[in-house]
Amino acid sequence: MGARCSKLSLCFWPSNTNLNDSSDIENGSRNEDSLPGFSEFSLDQLRVATGAFSSENIVSEHGEKAPNVVYRGKLADDRWIAVKRFNKSAWPDTRQFLEEARAVGQLRNERLANLIGCCCEAEERLLVAEFMPNETLSRHLFHWETQPMKWAMRLRVALYLAQALDYCSSKGRALYHDLNAYRVLFDKDGNPRLSCFGLMKNSRDGNSYSTNLAFTPPEYLRTGRVTAESVVYSFGTLLLDLLSGKHIPPSHALDLIRGKNFLMLMDSCLEGHFSNDDGTELVRLASRCLQYEPRERPNAKSLVIALAPLQKETEAPSYVLMGIQHGMSSPKETVPLTPLGEACSRRDLTAIHEILEKVGYKDDEGVANELSFQMWTNQIQETLNSKKRGDISFRSKDLATAIDCYTQFIEGGTMISPTVLARRSLCYLMSDMPQEALGDAMQAQVIHPDWPTALYLQAAALFSLGMDNDAHESLKDGSSLEAKKHTN
């Protein structure tokens, strides 16, 4: 969403490293001794680290609506951490939770966002992991702002993710729950890491393997059980994400592949940046992972062997390929939301109405209005009268009349007003018509690209449509525009 293209990190290989080697170096275990050990934290420690579990420190994709919320935090020794706080019913058995956490906590690998601790006090169940400051694969792949992810980087993400799965499998932890683009995180060097949270196999984390049945392994739909082959199927959906820059349902992708139209899968931003042979090989690998019969899918080790020879620009550090700042170990500073942004984030329609009414039309200043010769006729007066009647109805919350009058003004075509579109958008929201509200907010942004209000209203509409991830992106974009306004 937003003014950017809404389509919709990895260790540096030294020059003498053989990508085809299947040694420990290939699996990212060169510096395991330097990684933090596992320990048990007190609830007070984690409460202090997260600012009493402040909503401002929530980093999970669905915010406070997530069944199990993830917070960022800072320990007394200045280490940044990610804290996953489970729903009270997720782990009713204390002993089982501790045993599972300790088992996952024994894993140590540079391809993982490692589990470094847990907390189990009274009804609280919390996991503590290394904090990854450079966001998720979803953000960089689907919601990029400065540059699309390069082909070489996409290949590297695929390889490093396969290596993470291979490492886990070699340690007896082949099962991973709901592998997706939100589970792949980028560290301070731009290296991708697989979140350790999906390794907690006994958790009642959510009601199903995936929130979207179109991406769920077919055998899980039949049996309700996750297998190592199910994880490979999900890896295949991630390969499709990397190929296309979009979240394409596997059935649709396989139809294109069978019809030898695989180029239709490819992200248009990659045109001219990859060879047909490489593209064909990655598509072939994805289709193998997505086979209906689990036994026909490759294992994690085979994925590593297949992906290693495809790597490009192997001497380039990941942060260079990603175009991100190097060495940032703390969270990015977030720009506080304005009152309107806050109201939209809470979906407080009454507060939004009060703010839009108070602001009036001052934000329309500077928006060009090219009037035709008809401005000298009665048509312009009729158009302005429609707007005036719409404003009166908007003020009194006569929503149906306001929508009708604003529609007459918009369809008159003699003037453009992002504020009218914003007001009609809110009327649609208050009338439980979020799709129409989103359309108006997006049109307002087209007319006035640097107007935060348009993005904030998009967020409110997206929240109403259940598209929380995109809503949060719109809030971020709106707050970024606010920051630019104040610095100019």
Q: What is the DSSP string of 312-344?
A: -STTS-HHHHHT--TT--SPPPPPPPPHHHHHH
Note whether 74 and 203 are same-domain residues.
yes
Note whether 106 and 250 are same-domain residues.
yes
Please determine, for residue 13, whether its predicted confidence score (pLDDT) is greater than 60: no
Domain boundary pick from 280, 295, 322: 322
Q: Is 172 inside any structural domain?
A: yes
In this structure, which long-range contacts are made by residues 407-411, counting pairs with CB atoms below 8 Å and at least 24 apart in sequence? 408/383, 409/383, 409/384
Note whether 305 and 363 are same-domain residues.
no
* Contact status, residue 283 vs residue 157, Cβ threshold 8 Å: no
Please determine, for residue 488, whether its predicted confidence score (pLDDT) is greater than 80: no
Give the CA distances from residue 142 to residues 145, 363, 469, 470, in Å, rounded to whole numbers and listed in that order: 10, 30, 11, 10
* Contact status, residue 476 vs residue 452, Cβ threshold 8 Å: no
- CA 165 to chain centroid, in Å, comes to 21
Between residues 479 and 413, the one the model is more confident about:
479
Residue 113: the pLDDT is 96
Note whether 276 and 166 are same-domain residues.
yes
Note whether 258 and 215 are same-domain residues.
yes
Note whether 311 and 346 are same-domain residues.
no
Residue 20: the pLDDT is 35
Note whether 256 and 397 are same-domain residues.
no
Residue 144: the pLDDT is 82
Alpha helices in 370-465 (DSSP H): 378-395, 399-412, 418-430, 434-447, 452-464
Give the CA distances from residue 128 to residues 112, 114, 226, 334, in Å, rounded to whole numbers and listed in that order: 13, 9, 24, 22
Gyration radius (Cα) of the chain, Å? 25
Between residues 26 and 233, the one the model is more confident about:
233
Q: Write out pLDDT tens, residues 381-437.
A: 777 888 899 899 999 999 999 999 999 888 877 778 899 999 999 999 999 999 999
Amino acid 31 reads: N
* Contact status, residue 280 vs residue 262, Cβ threshold 8 Å: yes
Phi, psi of 81, deg, nearest 5: -135, 160
Domain that residue 423 falls in: 339-487
Catalytic residues: 178
Residue 4: the pLDDT is 35
Bridge partners, 80 (sequence order): 74
pTM for the full model? 0.64
Q: Is 370 inside any structural domain?
A: yes
Residue 263: the pLDDT is 77
Q: Is 249 inside any structural domain?
A: yes
Ranges 65-79, 109-123, 129-143, 177-191: which has the least confidence? 65-79
The three-state secondary structure class of 184 is strand
Specify the number of domains making up the chain: 2
The pLDDT confidence band at residue 359, using thresholds 50, 70 and 90, is confident
Please tell me the chain's helix, strand, coil percentages from 3-state DSSP, rounded to the nearest 5: 50, 10, 40
CA–CA gap between residue 259 and residue 267 (Å, rounded): 18
Q: What is the mean pLDDT of residues 459-485?
A: 82
